[in-house]
Structure 1
Amino acid sequence: MTPITQEENDFNHIFRSSKNGFIQFAYSYLGNMQDAEDVVMESYIQYWENKDKETFKSTNIKGYIFTIIRNRCIDVLEERKNLLQKNDELHRHLIGEIEINISSLKGCDPSELFTSEIEEIVNDTIKTLPNRTREIFYERYLEQKPYKTIAENFGISVKGVEFHISKSLNLLRKNLKDYL
């Protein structure tokens, strides 16, 4: 067993004495304890993996780790912001599509397309779907998007899209069993 170096001893001390404070700092910005803990641990690892580079030799270890944490928090928040912006755009688009479809349905004679009971069952069933399942259902059947495109939009696998579509169709079949 090799003896612990002064560098390792200093790092261990900073890890033990600062970890909780660093986590609280990250949590205060990220609002999620798991994300905060991940950011802090990743920052310690990043420092340790790069400690032998010339720029680290004269650097305050605690200050440098804090800077890594701050930068990683910024990255996480930027990722969240971008995701929310994409979701907001998607929601506005879906609402527009839904409004067009509602308007179209109101403008036609329901007896030619569906009985009022079937339309009510379909609308009520779609309203009961979880948000993500409903959004995937709309992209597939209202926007006619392929499974692969939908999977990319939601950051899930094609199998995940198939699961949500299957879930929607099974519920519609179940609720419309008396009409099919």
Structure 2
Amino acid sequence: MESYPTYSEERLLQLIKADDYDAFEELYSRYFDLLYGYAYNVIRDKEVAKDIIQDIFTWFWENRQQWQLTSCKGYLLTAVRFKTASYFRSAKVQESFTQNLKNAPVLYPDESLELEVKELQQLIESLIQDLPDRCREIFQLSRFAYQSHKDIAKKLGISEKTVEAQITIALKKLRGSLGKYHYLLFLFL
């Protein structure tokens, strides 16, 4: 019988990638409390925090064949950080979120992971700058100014369908440019 609690994180990740659900459950039990605590400290809603952590772990399991990790604690914490941002963006409570995020600690297990996250953020930012002007403007209003499609359409004097189409175009270009790392886009946008 496997002794998962004694396995290193790297070994668990190898087993998960080989479709070992018991290894996944061990990883889940190791990190749930930490991730939940982080999400709850930002959101202050127990059910929403649990849902965010469940979404991250569900995504993590479903995409196990795509990721290339040897360590995941920092990755999972980063996922929580960006999923909480996404929650606030969709819930339109960005003012309190911004204040809470400023006060939330940024946790990275080591400097190399922090560097990787910064490099990925810079890559995404440069790809956004390469979008056509109008497409970039609409995309930034949606994803960074947290405006609804309706508000963007009204502000720019265009239809909501045009807003939706431009955001779809932007996301397709970003996914295409990120290649095999396109699945990480959900963390940042």
Structure 1 or 2, whichever has the larger Rg, is 1
- Same fold (TM > 0.5): no
Question: If the length of structure 2 is used for normalisation, what is the TM-score?
Answer: 0.35
Question: If the length of structure 1 is used for normalisation, what is the TM-score?
Answer: 0.37
Q: Relative contact order (C-alpha < 8 Å, sep 6+): which is higher?
A: 2
